[in-house]
């Protein structure tokens, strides 16, 4: 598989590095590590979009604290400032939530000049997560690609992190917004899953049923379709209509 082939490449590159001069072998190792990271993120995204939501009660604050502990801040000497309540319970999919939030947290630490700020606020619909950094900001081309829902030759993203974030928020029925005036601020609005998601599903089913009923190929109107089990009695049909 992909990971095994990368391990083979890295193994040969390490041997070359021991027996050759120059930076060529190190360049191969660096590229292999980057590909391995992309592969891991691609697997996360594949699992994210393939699974059905399983809403449970989740403490968003606990999830964020857990993720922050795993983020490496030493390389950039980044300071993380948090404004978090004691708890912020939300009915949502725990696994999807973790996969969604890890991307903006990692990117904020990676691109920050010195400081990352993270806050969680309860809202009437659920909760809001805001992640800010004082780095150079996400390039406009990256956000244009994200808004368009696709990448082109002229709008090619530097990684899968933004897509992991977008698709994760979509899977949680949330809303995503960016501010790039001074650094980058990511605003994630997360609703309570359950009743809301059921209503959306019901609306979608209703729309599909209406499309089927109005299909010209049926050659019948809604009233006759509803009473198709009693077509021999026109009086009853009119009464039902």
Phi, psi dihedrals of residue 187, rounded to the nearest 5°: -110, 125
Task: Please give the pLDDT value at position 56.
Answer: 95
- The span from the CA of 94 to the CA of 161, in Å, is 19
Task: Please give the pLDDT value at position 237.
Answer: 41
Q: Where are the alpha helices (DSSP H) in the chain?
A: 2-19, 24-50, 60-70, 94-111, 140-148, 161-171, 195-213, 222-226, 234-240
Average pLDDT, consecutive stretches of 10 residues, N- to C-terminus, the chain (241 residues): 75 78 80 74 68 89 95 83 96 93 92 95 96 91 78 55 88 94 94 64 49 46 43 43 35
- The span from the CA of 98 to the CA of 107, in Å, is 15
Task: Please give the pLDDT value at position 156.
Answer: 47
Task: Please give the pLDDT value at position 186.
Answer: 96
Residue 174 near residue 188 (C-beta atoms within 8 A): yes
For the stretch 92-149, pLDDT in tens is 999 999 989 998 999 999 899 999 999 999 999 999 999 999 999 888 888 887 887 7
Task: Please give the pLDDT value at position 200.
Answer: 45
DSSP-assigned beta bridge partners for residue 20: none
- The span from the CA of 176 to the CA of 162, in Å, is 11
Task: Please give the pLDDT value at position 224.
Answer: 41
- The span from the CA of 73 to the CA of 63, in Å, is 18
């Amino acid at each position: 598989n992909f990971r095994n082939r990368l391990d083979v490449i890295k193994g040969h590159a390490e041997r070359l590095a021991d027996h050759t001069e120059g930076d060529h072998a190190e360049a191969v190792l660096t590229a292999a590590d980057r590909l391995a990271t992309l592969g891991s993120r691609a697997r996360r995204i594949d699992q994210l979009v393939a699974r059905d939501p399983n809403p449970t009660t989740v403490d968003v604050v606990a999830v964020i604290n857990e993720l922050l502990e795993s983020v490496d801040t030493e390389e950039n000497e980044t300071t993380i400032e948090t404004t978090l309540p004691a708890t912020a319970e939300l009915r949502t999919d725990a696994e999807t939530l973790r996969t969604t939030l890890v991307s903006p947290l990692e990117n904020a630490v990676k691109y920050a000049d010195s400081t990352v700020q993270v806050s969680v606020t309860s809202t009437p619909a659920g909760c809001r997560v805001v992640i800010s950094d004082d780095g150079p900001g996400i390039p406009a081309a990256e956000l244009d690609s994200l808004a368009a829902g696709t990448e082109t030759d002229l709008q090619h993203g530097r990684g899968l992190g933004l897509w992991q974030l977008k698709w994760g928020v979509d899977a949680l029925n949330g809303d995503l917004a960016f501010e790039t005036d001074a650094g980058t601020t990511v605003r994630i609005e997360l609703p309570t899953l359950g009743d809301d998601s059921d209503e959306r599903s019901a609306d979608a089913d209703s729309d599909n049923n209406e499309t089927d009923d109005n299909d010209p190929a049926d050659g019948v109107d809604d009233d006759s379709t509803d009473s198709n089990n009693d077509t021999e009695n026109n009086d009853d049909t009119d009464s039902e209509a």
